[in-house]
Amino acid sequence: MRKAQEFERDRRESFRGFPERRPFDPAKAFLHDCNQQAVRDGILALRRGPIRYRRGAMIACEGDPADYTYLVFSGVVRSCRAYRDGSRGIVAFHLPRDLFGWSVGPVHSLSVEAATDTLVVFLKRSVLHDVAMQDNRIASYLLAATTHELQRLQDHSLLLSRPAECRVATFLIGLSMRLGKTEYLDLPMSHQDIADHLGLTIETLSRTITKLEKSGSIERASCRALVLRNRASLVRKMHR
């Protein structure tokens, strides 16, 4: 009984100050057919927010207590680290429906910032852990989300050793797949963000995009929008 009371107290604390739309009952939340949406609905019952952030706003600083994980509702969020020489490395971009932020230690190893205007939901880690212990479907969902995030981080670390053309082609194909865009790609983040993510200077990124345009692989529709004219060509450049 005491543990149940502590669980309820922590659950309420996780979204204090925000209206609670419905009580969360793990036993009732998954009586219906288990599918990804049902699992998300159960997890969202633990939410704090969504909270609106303007582009460039700090969501969490490196070294802050890692009490929460994050779910992107809209916009784009970046995980990054700034260095004393003024340079910056962007480890990952998080898009709508991405769940992320499982730090290994008690504090954040990276800063979390809004790459665009965004809405972010905060999910208290301790409460998520307790709920996952009670329902293996939530545990499986969280494991899948974490594994997917780790896979992207591994792929990105390997990509940084590849030529610039390979990096840019891989990024464009990957982003189009994540956004569900087969041809027209409206880049939500800035070119500087993309350059910092790919370990390139802004000049090298610009030259590489121009090179891909001249080869017929892409076409610039505007300063932030690209048309992927030849996906097969981009895929070949990914593996060079």
Q: Give the DSSP letter of residue 60.
A: E
- Which tens digit of pLDDT belongs to each residue from 221-233? 988 899 999 999 9
How far is the C-alpha of 36 from the C-alpha of 91, rounded, in Å? 27
CATH match for 164-238 among 3.40.50.170, 3.30.930.10, 2.60.40.420, 1.10.10.10 = 1.10.10.10
pTM, full prediction: 0.78
Q: What is the mean pLDDT of residues 85-104?
A: 90
- DSSP for 121-152 reads EEEEHHHHHHHHHH-HHHHHHHHHHHHHHHHH
How far is the C-alpha of 240 from the C-alpha of 65, rounded, in Å? 41
pLDDT band at 3 (very low <50, low <70, confident <90, very high): very low
CB crowding 73-83: b at 16 or more within 10 Å, else e: bebbbbbbeee
| 3-state SS, residue 111 | strand
pLDDT of 29: 34
Q: Rounded to whole angstroms, what are the CA distances from 59 to 110, 122, 179?
A: 11, 10, 23
Domain ranges of the chain: 2-157, 164-238
As a CATH number, domain 2-157 is 2.60.120.10
- Which tens digit of pLDDT belongs to each residue from 168-209? 999 999 999 999 887 899 999 999 999 999 999 999 999 999
The chain-wide mean pLDDT, for the chain, equals 83
Q: How are beta strands 99-100 and 68-74 bridged, if at all?
A: antiparallel
pLDDT of 115: 97
Residue 218 tokens, joined: 């892409």
Sorted by sequence, the CB contacts under 8 Å of residue 228 that are 6+ apart come out as 172, 173, 176, 182, 183, 184, 185, 217, 218, 234
